[in-house]
Structure 1
Amino acid sequence: MRYDIVLVSYNSERWIPGCMEALRSVDYDLAQLHVLVADNGSQDGTLPLLQAEQEKGGFGGFTVLQNGGNLGFGAACNRGANKGGAPFVFFLNVDTRVDAGVFRALDEAAQQHPEAGGFECRQIPCETGHHIDPVSLETPWASGAVFCVRRTALEQVRGFDEHIFMYCEDVDLSWRLRASGWRLFYVPRAKVTHYCYENGGPKLSEYAGSFYGNLLLRYKYGSVRDIWNGHKMYLNALMHPVHFDGVRRVFLKNYLRHFLRLWPFWFWRFQNRDAFAAKMARFDGGFSPDRGLHVLDPWPGDEKPLVSVIVRTCARPEVLRGALCSLRNQTWESLEIVVAEDGEPVSREMLEQEFSDLNIVYCNDGKRHGRAANGNRGAAMARGEYLNFLDDDDYFYPDHIELLMTELARHPQADMVLGSSMALFGTLEQAETRLQNMTFDHITLFRMCQMNCIPIQTVLFRKKLFEQYGGLEESLDAHEDWSMWLRYWPHAKRIHEQGPDIRRATSIFVQPATSDGQQARMDKYRQSNRAFFENEELRFDVTLKQMRDFYDEMIADMRCLEARGELHDYLEKQANRDR
C-alpha cells in the first residue's frame, strides 16, 4: 500500500538525520512512501538538511512545504496531507525513529480492519497512558505523534481542527473520526521510538497544554456539568500543580486566554449535533482512564526466557476467548500459555479451532479439582522459568509481560516483580463500564497482613518459588492467592520493598458492576476468612518500626492529598463506601 508520511518541523535539525535514516531503512518498498515535511518557519539548519534529504531521493516522493511561520501542529499536518494522494496518511513526529517493520505491521492491521479510520503505532520507550481494549485493540483516541489515518476518513472529517494550536488536537480528530462511524485501533507491533518521551515524564508545555486543550474540548463536546468540572479541574491544577519553573504563570496565562478562544468550540456543537450526540468524550481522569507511564528498557541480549501464563478456567469458553485474545496481542514473543480447565474439557474444541497459532498447553483430565488445585496443576505443567497467573475473565494489556520481564532484567537478583492493574466494573462490551487505576502505593508485610494488595494477574515470579514453597492454597475457596503471596514473602527477593515495581497498569482485573454482584463476591471471601486467618503458617511478627512506618506513610499520603486539594473528596468517598 502507499503511504504519505507527514512530518512537521520547527527548528528540528537535531532530529532530521535520524528520522530520515530510519525511514530509508524500513523493510518496505520505498517507492510506496511519499515524505511530506511541513516546516513551521524554522530558523536553524532544518531547511538545508531537508533540501539535502530531498536531493538524496530514494522515496516515491519528497516534498518540503515552507509555511513561513508557526501555524501550529494541526494546521501544518493538514497542509502536508493535502499535498499527498496516498490511501493512508501517516502523521509522524520528527523526533522519532520508525522500526523496520512498521509499515508491514500497518498493512496487516489495515487488512484485518477495513472498517478502521486510523491506527496508532506503539511508542517506545514510553507510551501514552490511555486505555485500549486489550482484546480487540480498539482505542478511544490515538496519539498524533504516530497516527496513521485512512485518507477517505481524514477527508470526511476535514482533518485536524486548526483552532487547536498544539496538544489535544489528536484527541479531537480521534473523536470526530469515531463520531463519523470510523473505528481506531492500536497496533502494538508497529513500533516507533519517540525520543520526546524517553525520560518518562511530561514537559511543562505538554503538561500545561494538556489541561488547556482538555478545557477547550469540554466546550466542544461536553455537557454543562462537564464544562464546570473542567474549570474545577483546571483551577485545582493551577493551585496545586506538578512542579515546573513558572508553571503557575503558564497556567494562568492559558486560562485567561481560553476565554478569547473558546467560541469556535462552543459553536461547533450547534453545527455538528450528530457528532456532539455521539458523546465520544470520557472526561473523568482526562480523556480516557489513565493507566500511567513507564519507561521500557531494551532487553539485554537476543535470547528471551520463556514465560508461562497459567489461565484457570471452568466450562466458560466464551469468557476464556477474551483472555486468550489478550495473550495473542502480547509483545513478548517467548510465551507459553497453560490453559488449566477444571471439569469437562468444554474449551478444547475452541482452543484447537481458534487459537492453534498460540503456544498452548491444555491441562485437563475431566475431573473437578477446585480453583486452587486446578491452578496448581497448570503451574506444575509449565515449562517456563517465570510464571504468571491469569484468570479467564481478566486481561493483559499488550505490554504486560514485556514490561515486567524487562524490569526483572534490571534487577536479576529479584524473584518477583509486582505490577499494577486497572479495575473493570462490568465488561469491556458494556457502555456503562467503569474503569479505574488500581495501584497500591504501599505493599509491605504489615499491609499484606491486613489486605491482599496483589491482584493475582499483576505478579510475575520465578517458578522456583512455586516449587519450593507451594502454590495456591487448595483448602480455600477464596484468598487462595493471598495465602500463596504471604508464604512467598519471607523468602522471595523483591525489587522495591515498599510498593509496586511498575506503576503503569498492565492488566485488567474484572469486578462485578452491580452492588449485588459485589456483595456476592464479598460473601464468598467471608466464607474463607476463618480458615485463612487461623492458618498457623501465616503468622508473622510485625515490629513497632513497621507499624510506625505504616503510620508515617498514611500521614504522608493524607498530606499529599491535602496539598492537591483532594483530601475532602477522598474522605467523603471513603465514608460513602463504608456505609
Structure 2
Amino acid sequence: MKRISAVIVNWNDKETLARCIRSLQQQTHGDIEIIVSDNASSDGSQAMVKEQFHETFLIENPDNLGFGTAVNRGFERASGDYLIFLNNDLEFAPDSFAILVDALESVPGIGAVIPKILYSQKQNAINSLGVNIHCTGIAYPRMLDEPDCDDLAPEEVACGGIFMMRREVYEELGGFDEDLFLYHEDHDLSWRIRLAGWRLLTNPRAVFHHRYHFNKGKMKYYHSEKNRLHLLLKYLELKSLVLLAPPLLLVELAQWAHSLMHGWFFLKLKSYGDLLDLLPRILVKRRRLQSRRAVADREIARLFSSDLQISGVQSLALDFFLNPLLKAYWLWIRRYL
C-alpha cells in the first residue's frame, strides 16, 4: 500500500487542529503519516498534540513562517509516496484519501488531484472544486456557493487549492516558494505543475468539509496583491505580459479605488515596495522556470477563466463595465499567445 504524508499547518487553533487530526485518523486508507507543522503557537497547540496524538509527528517552528514555508518543513520530514498539505480547519469523508490515491494511480500524466470541498456550516453547498484564475492573476474558488450534486465529473483545471500530489512532482518542482509567506502559495505550485507538463484534475467523489470564514482583513489584501503580481512576473512569457498590459492596468486602477474606499491604500503602496525588493529574486526564478518550461502560455491560458470575480467585492462597475470589457479583450487576445 502506498503511503500518504499529510502536513497540517497550525497557528493558535488547537481545538480545530484536534478535529482535523481525528478526521484523518478515520480514513479508510491504511497508511497515512500525519505531520503537524506548528507556527509557534502560544495557545497550547503543541502540548495538545504531544499529549493526545502520540503517533502524530510535531514540528515546532521557532516563528510564524507562513503557510508555504511551514508545509515545506513538514514535507522535509515526510516519507510518503503521495503528499497532501492541509489547513487545520478541514475534515474529511472517510474514503476521500483512498479516492484521491486511486485517481493518481489510474490516470496517466496527472501530477495532482483536487477534492471537492463543501462548507461545514452550509448544507450541501460547495466551497470550492479547484480554483479559477483570471488572466490578470486574480484567483477565486471554482463553483463557490453552488449547490452540491453527485453527478459532477472530473475536470482538468488551472489551479488547485488543496490537492494531493505525487512525491516526485513536489521534489521536481522544489516545493512551495517561501518568498510568498501567505496566500497564493497553492496557485504558485499549481502553475509550476502545469508548466512542467503535468495536469491537475478534480475528483468530486473525494469530499472534504471546510469551516470557512471569509477573511476581510486588510493584510489579506496586501499579501494577495503582492503575490498576484509576483506570480504574473514569474510565470508569464514576455509576449503574454505585453498583451495583458491593458487589462492589468485596468485591474490595478480598480484595486487602487478599492484600497482607497476600504482603508488599505498604504498597504497597496507597501505591496509595490516589497515586490520591488523581491524583484531580483523573482527574475532569477523566472529565468530558471522559463528555460525549463514544457508548456507554453497558450496551453495554460485555455484553462484561465474569462470571468472576473473578486472575493468579498460586489460592485455594479465590476459587473457591468469592468468584467464585460476584460472578457471581450481576453477572448480577442488569447489567440495571439
Secondary structure of the structure 1 residue equivalent to 2:53: helix
The one of 184, 191, 194 equivalent to 2:207 is 191
The one of 143, 148, 155 equivalent to 2:164 is 148
Q: Which residue of 1 aligns with 2:157?
A: 139
Give the counterpart letter for 1:79 in structure 2.
R
How many equivalent residue pairs?
A: 296
Alignment map for 1:101-112 (pairs within 5 Å): 101-112=95-106
Q: Which residue of 2 aligns with 1:209?
A: 223
Give the counterpart letter for 2:60 in structure 1.
Q
CA distance in 2, matches of 1:160, 1:100: 28
Query: What's the offset of the Cα at 1:162?
Result: 1.2
The structure that has the greater radius of gyration is: 1
Q: 1:171 to 1:233 in 2, by over 3 A?
A: same
Deviation readout 1:229-270 (Å, 9 max, x if unpaired): 5455234212235965x3333323223322112221122222
- Residues 1:95 and 2:89 aligned together: yes
Is contact 1:226–1:283 with CA below 8 Å preserved after alignment? no
Q: Which residue of 2 aligns with 1:53?
A: 52
CA distance in 1, matches of 2:212, 2:169: 28
Q: Which runs of 5+ in 1 are unaligned?
A: 295-556
Q: Which residue of 2 aligns with 1:75?
A: 69
Deviation readout 1:189-232 (Å, 9 max, x if unpaired): 111111134x6x76544444332211111110223426745455
Alignment map for 1:294-313 (pairs within 5 Å): none
CA distance in 2, matches of 1:5, 1:166: 19
Deviation readout 1:77-132 (Å, 9 max, x if unpaired): 11111111111001111111111121121122123214211111111121165278
- Residues 1:160 and 2:159 aligned together: no
Is contact 2:131–2:159 with CA below 8 Å preserved after alignment? no
Q: Which residue of 1 aligns with 2:278?
A: 261
- Residues 1:274 and 2:273 aligned together: no
Give the counterpart letter for 1:7 in structure 2.
I
CA distance in 1, matches of 2:271, 2:62: 25
Q: Which runs of 5+ in 2 are unaligned?
A: 120-126, 134-141, 143-151, 333-337
CA distance in 2, matches of 1:292, 1:129: 12
Q: 1:71 to 1:227 in 2, by over 3 A?
A: farther
Q: Which residue of 1 aligns with 2:147?
A: none
Q: 1:45 to 1:289 in 2, by over 3 A?
A: farther
The one of 244, 252, 264 equivalent to 1:247 is 264
CA distance in 2, matches of 1:231, 1:130: 20
Greater RCO, 1 or 2 (C-alpha within 8 Å, sep 6+): 2
Secondary structure of the structure 1 residue equivalent to 2:177: coil
Q: Which residue of 2 aligns with 1:3?
A: 4
Secondary structure of the structure 2 residue equivalent to 1:28: coil
CA distance in 1, matches of 2:81, 2:103: 14
CA distance in 1, matches of 2:299, 2:220: 20
Is contact 1:129–1:292 with CA below 8 Å preserved after alignment? no
Query: What's the offset of the Cα at 1:8?
Result: 1.1
Give the counterpart letter for 1:268 in structure 2.
K
CA distance in 1, matches of 2:155, 2:202: 5
CA distance in 2, matches of 1:4, 1:13: 20
Give the counterpart letter for 1:214 in structure 2.
R
Is contact 2:69–2:176 with CA below 8 Å preserved after alignment? yes
Secondary structure of the structure 2 residue equivalent to 1:240: helix
Give the counterpart letter for 2:273 in structure 1.
L
Q: Compute the TM-score of the two structures, normalised by the length of structure 1.
A: 0.46
Q: 1:14 to 1:282 in 2, by over 3 A?
A: farther
Q: Which residue of 2 aligns with 1:130?
A: 132
CA distance in 1, matches of 2:324, 2:17: 49
Give the counterpart letter for 1:46 in structure 2.
S
CA distance in 1, matches of 2:299, 2:306: 8
The one of 226, 229, 232 equivalent to 1:218 is 232
Amino-acid identity (%) = 26
Deviation readout 1:39-66 (Å, 9 max, x if unpaired): 11112221111212332x3xxxx21111
Is contact 1:240–1:563 with CA below 8 Å preserved after alignment? no
Q: Which residue of 2 aligns with 1:44?
A: 43
Q: Which residue of 2 aligns with 1:15?
A: 16
CA distance in 1, matches of 2:205, 2:323: 41
CA distance in 2, matches of 1:259, 1:564: 33
Point out the more displaced range, 270-279 or 119-128. 270-279
Give the counterpart letter for 1:184 in structure 2.
L
CA distance in 2, matches of 1:64, 1:112: 32
Q: Which residue of 2 aligns with 1:66?
A: 60
Q: Which residue of 2 aligns with 1:233?
A: 251
CA distance in 2, matches of 1:567, 1:41: 42
CA distance in 1, matches of 2:222, 2:35: 29
CA RMSD of aligned residues (A): 3.6
Q: Compute the TM-score of the two structures, normalised by the length of structure 2.
A: 0.75
